[in-house]
Structure 1
């Protein structure tokens, strides 16, 4: 295995993207979605960057300077100038800052996988930089299997877990409850939008103080 897979909490971390094209815009939007403080530096910005201002991403129109990487948690070199990208990588390395180089995966400290986002379910697919097109194809195939119903299902399960923990249930007892909910096909019932049957399962397994409508709405906007 060439790379060590890891999921990082970057909420509140400062991340820099150098490059205002479509690639930089996509990276910036994903970083912001994960709670990072994002700055994009470029001497010009593409139309794809127009929406970034609306989600509190700092766009600074200027040429890159080596001081720009100071204090950053991550740096992304995403310009259309390979020499500049390598300079950014060099400057980041001198400060022990991890850097991803868009046009040179072999010279990057980390790679960005192809991602399936279903709320708390995140599936990352990587071919270790050998074939991004294949990673995208695999992701598309998995998206057909892992439908949007997984997002409310995992939100439901997470909120049930919080309530059970706060009520002092034993860990083994909680494990049995979650297996029962999975075996009773709650996921398929959510896919079918059958709230009545979902509540019937919840009441049977947990009691009538547990309702799907209340539980699935908690944390929806977090």
Structure 2
């Protein structure tokens, strides 16, 4: 079996259809919220959480059984029912250029959703290629402990400072030193990164003789 190729997809404005309304479907919905995708659930019955999201206008719920026309305009499709025959019908109904994952048949899926940790701009994905979702989840839990909520603000800091450095700093050596130094434990744990950055910039500026 060939290995998969990891990518981050931009789903803003794309239609994502999830067929099924149970806990598996609910987890898929939760993972898609915030991506900008138009999330459509197709199922006669859904969980209370999916109903709530539908009432709040965050997703579309088509309260019906699956028909091939339900996925005609979908960019990405999740076959997440507990009936194997329906999941296989979804697979064969999809066009060759559509992304389809089947909850109970990873071998015939053309993509897998990795277990992932999200800390603001930081995204860490773990995949076993469908071999063991349980192991992927276990590794994710370990990463959640290692990369805690402090990384969210840290990534915002790194993003803004990288843009400033690339725009304002002309000296190539100074630019490299700044970009390298701000990615350090000192800045991660700092209580005042802005002041620390100013001091770093002034120190390195003097060292380069500018």
Structure 1 residues 130 and 169 mapped into 2: Cα distance closer, same or farther (>3 Å)? same
- The whole-number CA distance in structure 2 between the counterparts of 1:206 and 1:184 is 17
- The whole-number CA distance in structure 1 between the counterparts of 2:70 and 2:172 is 48
Alignment of 1:7-18 (within 5 A): 7-18=8-19
Q: Offset at 1:36?
A: 0.9
Q: Offset at 1:10?
A: 1.3
Q: Offset at 1:51?
A: 3.1
- The whole-number CA distance in structure 2 between the counterparts of 1:121 and 1:115 is 10
2:189 corresponds to:
188
Structure 1 residues 117 and 70 mapped into 2: Cα distance closer, same or farther (>3 Å)? same
Alignment of 1:67-216 (within 5 A): 67-92=69-94, 94-167=95-168, 169=170, 172-183=173-184, 185-189=186-190, 194-195=191-192, 198-206=193-201
Aligned residue for 2:124, secondary structure, equals: strand
CA-atom RMSD, angstroms?
Answer: 1.9
Aligned residue for 2:116, secondary structure, equals: strand
Q: Offset at 1:178?
A: 2.0
TM-score (norm 1): 0.83
Aligned residue for 1:185, secondary structure, equals: helix
Aligned residue for 2:39, secondary structure, equals: strand
Aligned residue for 2:118, secondary structure, equals: strand
CA contact (8 A) 2:122 2:151 kept: yes
CA contact (8 A) 2:169 2:175 kept: no
How many correspondences in the alignment?
A: 200
Q: Offset at 1:69?
A: 0.9
Aligned residue for 1:203, secondary structure, equals: helix
- Gaps of at least 5 residues in structure 1 are 208-222
